[in-house]
Amino acid sequence: IVMWAVDNNWNGIENLALIPGTVGAAPIQNIGAYGVELKDVLQNLKFYHFDTKKIEALDNKNCSFGYRDSIFKKVLKNKVFITEIILKLRKKNHLYKTDYGSIKEELQKQNVQQLSPKMIAETVIKIRQNKLPDPKKTGNAGSFFKNPEVSAELFMKIKEKYPDIIAFPTENNQYKLAAGWLIEHCQLKGYAHKGAAVHTKQALVIINQNNAKGEDILELSKIMSDKVFEKFNVKLEPEVNIF
């Protein structure tokens, strides 16, 4: 759906290019990348409720969207199957989001003069292909942890010691830290535990390196979160669903 929108010059979801998954699953996680989340464009949706055996609908407001979160991960968890979503995209007067991650840097390298949804999408795809493993070739669940939010006080304390920390201010006077940066600065890139390993190019990703079992991956994720807490006093929360 992202590439269909791009090919037809519809703006709004170009930053979500190359996220593996289905359209119906997207609202569950409120998927997001490079400064854009699904909640920014979703109008409403329909779903089949397993208990009532009926098709029901919710608008954006009643989906309780949050950072990688929604009503479908809470009271409606495992109770519905999303069948339809309606997005509001733009043909004009669209403000492209290029400040998150390395989009702007890549665009400058290419000497891009005029932005378009296709140009943004192609840039995002290039960045993702350079640092993320292809799930068709290497088993992984994408970003394993959420980017944690911390108080301004804790952020300044960490920044004093690590001036290069990657962080973004949030609306509630807190800072969202790059979980990948935290993990990398615990020297965990490439770290292997049984069959699982931390990806060498993006520390936020756990890969199935050698027939890893579910418990191998969970054990590795605990090692990672414990190391980050020990070093930075920051608690990491899983982004993936753990059953």
Query: Active-site residues: which are they?
Result: 68, 143, 239
H-run or E-run covering 141:
strand 140-143
**Which of the 8 DSSP states describes residue 64?**
T
Report which residue type is found at 200: T
**Which of the 8 DSSP states describes residue 66?**
B
Closest CA to 101 of 125, 124, 81, 74: 124
What string of H, E and C letters represents the secondary structure of 8-61? CCCECCHHHCCCCCCCCCHHHHCCEECCEEHHHCEEEEEEEECCCCEEEEEECH
Q: SS3 breakdown of the chain: % helix, strand, coil, rounded to 5?
A: 35, 25, 45
